[in-house]
Amino acid sequence: MKKIVSVLLTAVFFVLLSVPALSFDMPTTKEEVVYGILAADGSVQDLYVVNSFPGGAIVDYGDYSDVHNMSSSEALIWEGDLVTINTTVDRFYYQGTLKKKALPWQIAIQYELDGEKLPAADLAGRNGALKIQMDITQNKDVNAAFYDNYMLQITLALDTERCSEIKSPDGTIANAGKDKVIAHFVLPGNDKIISVTAQVRDFVMPGIEMTAMPFVMRIDMPDTEELTEDLNKLSDAIGELNDGVEELSSGVDETHSGARKLADGSAKFADGLEKLSNNSQNILSASAKIKTALRDVAQGLEQGLGTFSLEDLEKLPGALRELSGGLTGVAGGLTALETGYAQAYPALDGAISSIPDADVDEISLYGLYMAVAYDDTLTDTLDGLMGYYEAGQRVKGTYAAVKEAFAAVADNLKNLIEPINEMAGILTGMADEIEQSLDQMDVAAQLQRLTEGLFQLADNYGQFHTGLGKYVKGVKDLNGGYSDVNRGIRSLSKGIGELNTGASELYEGTSELHEEVSQLPDKVQEEIEKMIDQFDKSDFVPISFVSEKNTAVEMTQFVLKTMPIEKPETSTPTAEKPANLNLWQKVLDLLGLNSP
């Protein structure tokens, strides 16, 4: 008996080994379609998942409140979150009702009629200006992989017999029979606000439909060679512009240095002219006294020849030397003025000559303005540059008009100094001759010769004094006119100093612009690659929406629909359902969407 039992146990053991066993640690390859029924405001009412498998042994996971076999009469084994079956059909479907009513997207729908917010139920049968707004945002309580990798398509259908003037920014509007179908797409990783407006009468609307699938779009890298080449040309052009601005800045800096020297030289020149003008009157007064003294001495000698004593004659050389000393002093003052003028005038002339006199090319100027148009500060600096350039040209033109008079001052000073020194020498010589001949000549004859010589000297000096008066008047006129020139030069120097600062800022700006533009080709390439990477979801591996334990998912997609906006019906006729429903009819029936 024991031997028979042993044989039976062994047989049972081998039979058990021959029966296929379910491997509960290896989920079966599957596809998921998530069906959602939403309220008219977008809130989730129910979520159902239709799971699809190849036939045979099936192991699946999901947090369901209910499950239903849609393919056969075979019983599902449902324990906790585990669903199993060993089916004989080629393709097996079962539906599960999810406990958690949450989608990867938060969908909020608002309705306005004539500017007043209303619940959807109050819109049915109404007339007016309708606005529907949908806010699509991420639901951070759900795995972000769906939000980041799925594209959401949203479609609304409006009956054109009830709705007119239909508008929806960024939406695609198409005809479908008597309906206008408005479609919007929400790209992966993006929120979106959708707006639809229309004039409605006796309004009703079917449910808003939404589908979501992994975003698949093949984007080939565009040929950027031509664009890059153009950007490189732009960079080269701005580089040349920057070089030009650098030269401009350097030139303005040199001009500023020259302008400072010009201002210093002009100040010295103006000071010298002022002193010359003031001293010229003193010189003219001294010259008048010398002229009078020469005439008085000559007349005195002529009138007193008969009574003129040897003692008086001995005093005469001293008087002549005193006159000579006065003339020598006048000549010395003029010589000092000539020396100061000789130093100031070349500095003035050189500084003004250093101001560029070339005309600014209008095309180049326009190009420069276009290059800095993005920066008001640089534009203002360039305006200042042109203003001071024009001021510099005016100073140069004014100086050119009076340059001849400035240049003549030195020659006029020389022409004054030489005859004054000659007259002083003549007076000294006469004094020496009188002293040497007092003991050798007849006094009367000597006095006669002296008198004649003094009269001749007085006449010559009178002509010199007349010329000196004209010169003094010219110096005064020159001094009065140069005051305005000197003020203009000081203003120009100050302005060029400000311009120098502005030109440096302009160069810094164009240098920064050149640096930025030179990086554009690489930045464009980088941005294109970023854009392609943003939409390239080729590396996305499908995951289960139902449970992380389902690791063999081939596809997950979403089909969502809001409740329609309908007028209440007085009676609902009983509809006979078809005796034999296909799979799709079963899905619609389960979701409560199957129409009679």
Which of 186, 218, 250 is the endpoint of a domain? 218
How sure is the predictor about 46, in pLDDT bands with cuts at 50, 70 and 90?
very high
pLDDT, greater one: 417 or 581: 417
Residue 205 reports pLDDT greater than 80: yes
Task: Check which CATH number belongs to the domain holding 173 and give it.
Answer: 2.60.40
Interval 387-392 mean pLDDT: 66
Interval 138-165 mean pLDDT: 96
- Tell me the pTM: 0.51
How sure is the predictor about 7, in pLDDT bands with cuts at 50, 70 and 90?
very low
Residues 329, 184 share a domain: no
How sure is the predictor about 459, in pLDDT bands with cuts at 50, 70 and 90?
confident
DSSP string, 108-149: EEEEEETTEEE-GGGTTT--EEEEEEEEEEE-TTS-HHHHHH
238-278, pLDDT tens digit by residue? 777 667 667 766 766 776 676 676 677 667 767 766 776 67
CA atoms 283, 287, 290, 296: torsion sign: negative
* Residue keyed to tokens 């001009």: 255
Residues 429, 325 share a domain: yes
pLDDT at 583: 55
Residue 309 reports pLDDT greater than 60: no
Which residues span the domain enclosing 25? 20-102+545-596
pLDDT, greater one: 111 or 460: 111
Kindly state whether residue 319 falls inside one of the protein's structural domains: yes
Residue 32 near residue 61 (C-beta atoms within 8 A): no
pLDDT, greater one: 595 or 398: 398
Beta strands 553-562 and 30-38 are parallel
Q: Helix (H, G, I), strand (E, B), or coil: what is residue 36? A: strand
Residues 467, 438 share a domain: yes
Non-local CB neighbours of 100 within 8 Å, separated by 6+ positions? 47, 63
Alpha-carbon torsion, ordered 276, 277, 278, 282, to 10 deg = 80
Percent of the chain at pLDDT exceeding 70: 55
Beta strands in 205-327, from DSSP E residues, in sequence order? 209-214
480-513, pLDDT tens digit by residue? 666 766 776 777 677 677 767 766 777 777 777 6
Kindly state whether residue 502 falls inside one of the protein's structural domains: yes
Residue 140 reports pLDDT greater than 70: yes
Residue 91 reports pLDDT greater than 70: yes
Which of 167, 186, 218 is the endpoint of a domain? 218
How sure is the predictor about 78, in pLDDT bands with cuts at 50, 70 and 90?
very high
pLDDT at 8: 34
Residues 589, 478 share a domain: no
Of the ranges 147-156, 379-388, 574-583, the best mean pLDDT one: 147-156
Residue 346 reports pLDDT greater than 70: yes
Residue 21 reports pLDDT greater than 50: no
- Enter the tokens of residue 309: 């004593």
How sure is the predictor about 288, in pLDDT bands with cuts at 50, 70 and 90?
confident
Q: Helix (H, G, I), strand (E, B), or coil: what is residue 214? A: strand
Residues 557, 506 share a domain: no
Residue 22 reports pLDDT greater than 50: no
Q: How many residues does the chain have?
A: 596
In 10 A of CB 347, how many CB atoms?
16
Q: How many domains does the chain have?
A: 3
Residues 97, 109 share a domain: no
Non-local CB neighbours of 302 within 8 Å, separated by 6+ positions? 451, 455
Distances (CA, A) of 484 to 223, 409, 413, 479: 66, 18, 23, 9
Kindly state the helix (H) or strand (E) to which residue 528 belongs, with its residue range: helix 520-535
How sure is the predictor about 14, in pLDDT bands with cuts at 50, 70 and 90?
very low
Give the ranges where 354-375 is alpha helix by DSSP (H).
362-371
Buried b (16+ CB within 10 A) or exposed e, 55-92: eeebbbbbebeebebbbeeeebebeeeebbbebeeeeb
Q: Helix (H, G, I), strand (E, B), or coil: what is residue 476? A: helix
In 10 A of CB 267, how many CB atoms?
16
How sure is the predictor about 12, in pLDDT bands with cuts at 50, 70 and 90?
very low
Kindly state whether residue 571 falls inside one of the protein's structural domains: yes
pLDDT, greater one: 280 or 271: 271
In 10 A of CB 402, how many CB atoms?
13
Which of 471, 490, 524 is the endpoint of a domain? 524
Residue 6 reports pLDDT greater than 50: no
Residues 414, 300 share a domain: yes
Task: Check which CATH number belongs to the domain holding 374 and give it.
Answer: 1.20.1270
Alpha-carbon torsion, ordered 348, 350, 351, 352, to 10 deg = 80
What span, in angstroms and rounded, lies between the C-alpha atoms of 93 and 89? Answer: 10
Residues 296, 171 share a domain: no
Interval 61-73 mean pLDDT: 96
Kindly state whether residue 552 falls inside one of the protein's structural domains: yes
Non-local CB neighbours of 174 within 8 Å, separated by 6+ positions? 180, 181, 183
Interval 549-578 mean pLDDT: 82
Alpha-carbon torsion, ordered 229, 230, 234, 240, to 10 deg = 50
In 10 A of CB 154, how many CB atoms?
21
pLDDT at 548: 94
What span, in angstroms and rounded, lies between the C-alpha atoms of 359 and 389? Answer: 10
Q: Tell me, rounded to whole angstroms, the distance of Cα 287 from its chain centroid.
A: 71
Rg over CA atoms, the chain? 56
* Residue keyed to tokens 């100073």: 395
Buried b (16+ CB within 10 A) or exposed e, 403-413: eeebeebeebb
Residues 462, 325 share a domain: yes
What span, in angstroms and rounded, lies between the C-alpha atoms of 455 and 341? Answer: 35
Residues 414, 321 share a domain: yes
Interval 197-225 mean pLDDT: 85
pLDDT at 358: 54
Cβ-in-10-Å burial (0-12, 13-18, 19+) of 522 comes to exposed
Residue 105 reports pLDDT greater than 80: yes
Kindly state whether residue 15 falls inside one of the protein's structural domains: no
Residue 106 reports pLDDT greater than 90: yes
Residue 587 reports pLDDT greater than 70: no
What span, in angstroms and rounded, lies between the C-alpha atoms of 163 and 169? Answer: 17
Percent of the chain at pLDDT exceeding 90: 36
Interval 518-532 mean pLDDT: 66
Residues 304, 214 share a domain: no
Kindly state the helix (H) or strand (E) to which residue 485 belongs, with its residue range: helix 443-518
What does the mean pLDDT of the chain come to?
Answer: 77
Kindly state the helix (H) or strand (E) to which residue 312 belongs, with its residue range: helix 310-353
Non-local CB neighbours of 300 within 8 Å, separated by 6+ positions? none
pLDDT, greater one: 566 or 426: 566
Alpha-carbon torsion, ordered 34, 35, 39, 45, to 10 deg = -70
Q: Tell me, rounded to whole angstroms, the distance of Cα 510 from its chain centroid.
A: 11
What span, in angstroms and rounded, lies between the C-alpha atoms of 99 and 431? Answer: 139
How sure is the predictor about 13, in pLDDT bands with cuts at 50, 70 and 90?
very low
How sure is the predictor about 129, in pLDDT bands with cuts at 50, 70 and 90?
very high
What span, in angstroms and rounded, lies between the C-alpha atoms of 114 and 525? Answer: 49
Residues 136, 74 share a domain: no
Interval 66-79 mean pLDDT: 95
pLDDT at 301: 66
How sure is the predictor about 359, in pLDDT bands with cuts at 50, 70 and 90?
low
What span, in angstroms and rounded, lies between the C-alpha atoms of 82 and 64? Answer: 10
- Enter the tokens of residue 132: 């529907």
